[in-house]
A and B are shown apart, each in its own frame.
Chain A
């Protein structure tokens, strides 16, 4: 357990009759970026809220820094920086004044903590602009500045690039990476954008309808799911029947009227071609293809995919 900065055990959240998080076990390793990927409403934010004690846990346990958070909040939370959804601050105060409040609440003693945090996210120090006049992107940046203000060991970032322009997204991505690589911080980040997670995360958890479908390192995932056989035939139903009866194949999908995708690349294609031709199914083409991560996610989430 000590290897994991965050570990959840059978974490479940039920609202009324709806189970929004169902027995989720996630394992966030020290010094790594863990990407929680799922469509909107998949349960990512609820998991983060449960870790941060912002919503009661229906059942299951959360361990942070090896300790069960229940009853340990005062010891654990000061070591965490977090953004949940779009961060809100006092609208009648400037960004610097808002951070001054949070620095005082946390007892942050570093003299330049506010200035440094604002510089990192690219916001001006001692600016006169009130928070109520901030754009969504500026609010998000201020939220990140607040999360890193007290130099926490663990960052929990719920869709931190929401509302940022493309340059801002790239800047925040680089900044998050540098926090992990240079300062060894552990980061749990959620997103519904696959490309964002694939560019950032070292480990990934895929969540759909409250269920953690897969958890592995990004490296493993890329290795494991990169290839498939694209088979074009004259009669797809007949070809499917042959593949299932003769080769006991189940891991394939019908793409269109002439195309099949076979995900088991260890299949002997010479024998498959021969069997199809013998049984009057013309093979138009047969080729080995590399799958994209997006296609893979589409497959495991039941075809709905992730943006």
Chain B
């Protein structure tokens, strides 16, 4: 499996867009810095800054959309050019092929959130909006790692759709709908959508100020929601790949 994951990264050589997409991890930390500069606040609670820079739009829009595009790109070329048959002849196990792609998404997601964490720390501490504290930095890193890992699992349904379709337009469109649906479903029922459930897990301690939830946070139920969606996604991918 490790070899397959390494091979997946070899396939990404010269795919500049994938690496350029990582720059989108800087968007929210930078905009948050501008917001605090506009407000003229200094010495603010670090969590208040990180709420905007790392735990807000990043987890509902930017990261899911970036991962959705990545899923489509990882699979599109092999699907489009009928390259899969070259792999099946080797032979490469179809599910190992699928999971190797998933691990690339997971690693990418973690790197993305680590960049967000570093940028958040940089844009908050260097201009002096937040005073340096190891405790808050470690909190930020821990939460960003959690977001990175859980979001990749929450994006498995998009990966399954990318595997089942030849083009990349539909998976990208579904990603956008999927991300916006999480906004709509969050106040209705946060255990229906994996991204909402992921947000519930991240904010389980209710230690991020200014966030209120319509339901009580139930971490096992949130994990169950993600698991159910992931099982369906894996089954869909298995059925689709068996047909290819």
Residues in chain A within 8 A of chain B (CB atoms): 49, 52-54, 73-74, 77-78, 80, 82, 84-85, 87-93, 97, 100-102, 104-106, 130, 146
Are B90 and A93 in touch, CB under 8 angstroms? no
Q: Which of B14, B15, B86, B91 contacts A87 (CB 8 A)?
A: B86
Q: Which of A77, A89, A91, A93 contacts B89 (CB 8 A)?
A: A77
Contacts of B88 in A (CB 8 A): 52-54
Are B91 and A73 in touch, CB under 8 angstroms? yes
- How close is A98's CB to chain B, nearest CB, in angstroms? 9
Contacts of B4 in A (CB 8 A): 105
- B78: nearest chain-A partner, CB-CB: A90
Are A93 and B11 in touch, CB under 8 angstroms? yes
Q: Can you identify 12 A-B contacts, CB atoms within 8 angstroms? A: A49-B85, A54-B85, A73-B91, A77-B90, A84-B85, A88-B82, A92-B13, A93-B10, A101-B10, A101-B11, A104-B7, A105-B3
Contacts of A88 in B (CB 8 A): 81-83, 86
Give Cα A102–Cα B87 distance, bound, in whole angstroms: 8
- Quick one: which of B1-42 are within 8 Å of A by CB? 3-4, 6-7, 10-11, 13-15
User: Is B77 interfacial (CB 8 A cutoff)?
Assistant: yes
Are B81 and A92 in touch, CB under 8 angstroms? no
Give Cα A52–Cα B91 distance, bound, in whole angstroms: 10
- A77: nearest chain-B partner, CB-CB: B91
Are A54 and B11 in touch, CB under 8 angstroms? no
Contacts of B3 in A (CB 8 A): 104-105
- How close is B83's CB to chain A, nearest CB, in angstroms? 5
User: Is B92 interfacial (CB 8 A cutoff)?
Assistant: yes
Contacts of A54 in B (CB 8 A): 85, 88-89
Give Cα A80–Cα B88 distance, bound, in whole angstroms: 12
Contacts of A77 in B (CB 8 A): 89-91
- How close is B176's CB to chain A, nearest CB, in angstroms? 25
Q: Lowest 4 A-B CB distances belong to which pairs?
A: A88-B81, A77-B91, A92-B14, A88-B83
Bin the interface of chain B by size.
Answer: 20 to 34
Are B13 and A91 in touch, CB under 8 angstroms? no
Write out, one digit per residue, whether chain B residues 70-102 have a CB within 8 A of any chain A CB (1) or not (0).
000000010001110111111110000000000
Are B91 and A100 in touch, CB under 8 angstroms? no
Are A82 and B91 in touch, CB under 8 angstroms? no
Give Cα A102–Cα B13 distance, bound, in whole angstroms: 15
Are B13 and A105 in touch, CB under 8 angstroms? no
Contacts of B90 in A (CB 8 A): 77-78, 102, 105-106
Give Cα A146–Cα B83 distance, bound, in whole angstroms: 13
Contacts of A106 in B (CB 8 A): 90
Contacts of A146 in B (CB 8 A): 86
Q: Are A91 and B77 also in contact (CB < 8 A) when A54-B88, A77-B90, A146-B86 are?
A: yes
- B91: nearest chain-A partner, CB-CB: A77
- B243: nearest chain-A partner, CB-CB: A56
Contacts of A90 in B (CB 8 A): 11, 77, 83
- How close is A269's CB to chain B, nearest CB, in angstroms? 55
- How close is B5's CB to chain A, nearest CB, in angstroms? 11
Give Cα A82–Cα B83 distance, bound, in whole angstroms: 13
- B93: nearest chain-A partner, CB-CB: A74
- How close is A117's CB to chain B, nearest CB, in angstroms? 15
- B82: nearest chain-A partner, CB-CB: A88
Are A89 and B83 in touch, CB under 8 angstroms? yes
- How close is B12's CB to chain A, nearest CB, in angstroms? 8
Beyond A90-B77, A101-B11: 12 further Cβ-contacts under 8 Å? A52-B89, A88-B86, A89-B86, A90-B11, A93-B10, A93-B11, A93-B13, A100-B10, A102-B86, A104-B6, A105-B7, A106-B90
Give Cα A105–Cα B3 distance, bound, in whole angstroms: 8
Give Cα A88–Cα B79 distance, bound, in whole angstroms: 11
Contacts of A85 in B (CB 8 A): 82
Contacts of B87 in A (CB 8 A): 105
Contacts of B13 in A (CB 8 A): 92-93, 97
Give Cα A146–Cα B7 distance, bound, in whole angstroms: 16
- How close is B85's CB to chain A, nearest CB, in angstroms? 5
Interface centre among A53, A87, A88 (most CB of B within 10 A): A88
Are A105 and B77 in touch, CB under 8 angstroms? no
Give Cα A84–Cα B83 distance, bound, in whole angstroms: 10
- How close is B67's CB to chain A, nearest CB, in angstroms? 20
- A104: nearest chain-B partner, CB-CB: B7
Interface centre among A52, A92, A106 (most CB of B within 10 A): A92
- A87: nearest chain-B partner, CB-CB: B86
Are B14 and A80 in touch, CB under 8 angstroms? no
Contacts of A49 in B (CB 8 A): 85
Contacts of A91 in B (CB 8 A): 77, 81
Are A80 and B89 in touch, CB under 8 angstroms? yes
